[in-house]
Amino acid sequence: MDKPKIPKRIQDYIKSKGLKQGFIAQQAGYKKNEFSAMMNGYKKITVEDMERICLALEVSPSLFIKPESLKVG
């Protein structure tokens, strides 16, 4: 199974900043296993999830959402 692009971008960003997924999960108010499920494509990331994750990372969602990620129709 290919990993969805947005979770992969989030994971890459977390890693590039030297952060741990567990720390970001906690900051965003998720249990580690719930956050891991989102990052591995087993649970879809909702708009609310994206808000919480981006607040924890102190970044804009536009950092992770690219035009090719958006599906119309």
**Total domains in the fold of the chain:** 1
- CA distance linking residue 26 with residue 13, whole number of Å: 17
In a domain, 73, yes or no: no
In a domain, 33, yes or no: yes
Q: Dump pLDDT digits (tens) for 6-65.
A: 999 999 999 999 999 999 999 999 999 999 999 999 999 999 999 999 999 999 999 998
Q: What tokens were used for 17? A: 């900043």
In a domain, 43, yes or no: yes
Q: What is the pTM of this model?
A: 0.85
Cβ contacts of residue 7 below 8 Å, gap of 6+?
38, 39, 40, 41, 45
pLDDT at 68: 63
Between 72 and 4, name the one with better pLDDT.
4
CATH number of the domain bearing residue 24: 1.10.260.40
In a domain, 71, yes or no: no
Q: What tokens were used for 32? A: 């580690």
In a domain, 67, yes or no: no
- CA distance linking residue 70 with residue 43, whole number of Å: 18
Domain that holds residue 52: 5-61
In a domain, 72, yes or no: no
